[in-house]
Amino acid sequence: MDVTTFEITLYLTDLSVMIRFFGLLLVLLMVACSRPEHPYRYFPIEEQAVSLAAVRCNNPSEMNWLRDVIKLAEVNNEYKGFIYAIPYRTETVFLHQPWISDCMGCHLYDCDGETLLLTEGEKSEIMAAVKDENIIYTSTQ
């Protein structure tokens, strides 16, 4: 059997295409499997949450009440969960939702850390805004 130059060129072209394809596939696989750098990796997560809360409240204070809630969530399994900063009417409401409840054990705070006592209708409005984009802290990871 005689192999022509055309057949050799065709074979090498196909091989080159396959190498490029698998090289691209390997690069995409590496990128997809790598963990992205967290933009706040140099700051403690607590600091990030307090900073986000201060911005949402237009309040440059230390927000010690929020630090206390975060510390409690770190050490006590009953309080582990999510903290949301939810825009509600003209203010920001903080909702601490322990991971073991469906918000029966939720705690609601204003920007000063005062516990809010709301009607069921008001709570429903706030619960409708419980979305991932409003999470400022989680102790479940």
Q: Give the pLDDT confidence of 35-79 residue by residue, as tens digits.
A: 555 444 444 588 889 999 999 998 877 889 999 999 998 888 888
Quick one: DSSP state of residue 86? E
CA end-to-end span of the chain: 65
pLDDT: is 86 or 4 the higher one?
86
Residue 118 has pLDDT above 50, yes or no: yes
Tokens representing residue 37 in the block: 């750098």
Q: How far apart are CA 65 and CA 71, in angstroms?
A: 10
pLDDT: is 56 or 9 the higher one?
56
Task: Answer whether residue 68 is part of any domain.
Answer: yes
pLDDT given for residue 45 in this prediction: 83
Task: Answer whether residue 58 is part of any domain.
Answer: yes
pLDDT given for residue 111 in this prediction: 92
Supply the range of the domain harboring residue 108: 45-138
112 contacts: CB under 8 Å, gap ≥ 6: 65
Task: Answer whether residue 29 is part of any domain.
Answer: no
pLDDT given for residue 98 in this prediction: 86
Task: Answer whether residue 86 is part of any domain.
Answer: yes
Q: 3-state class of 34 per DSSP?
A: coil
Task: Work out how many domains the chain is built from and give that number.
Answer: 1
Tokens representing residue 61 in the block: 């204070």
Task: Answer whether residue 100 is part of any domain.
Answer: yes
113 contacts: CB under 8 Å, gap ≥ 6: 63, 64, 65, 66
Task: Answer whether residue 51 is part of any domain.
Answer: yes
pLDDT given for residue 69 in this prediction: 92
pLDDT given for residue 40 in this prediction: 42
pLDDT given for residue 65 in this prediction: 94
Task: Answer whether residue 53 is part of any domain.
Answer: yes
Q: How far apart are CA 35 and CA 127, in angstroms?
A: 31
Residue 26 has pLDDT above 90, yes or no: no
Q: What are the backbone angles phi and psi of residue 44, rounded to the nearest 5°?
A: -60, 145
User: Which range has the worst mean pLDDT, 7-11, 28-32, 44-48, 57-61?
Assistant: 7-11
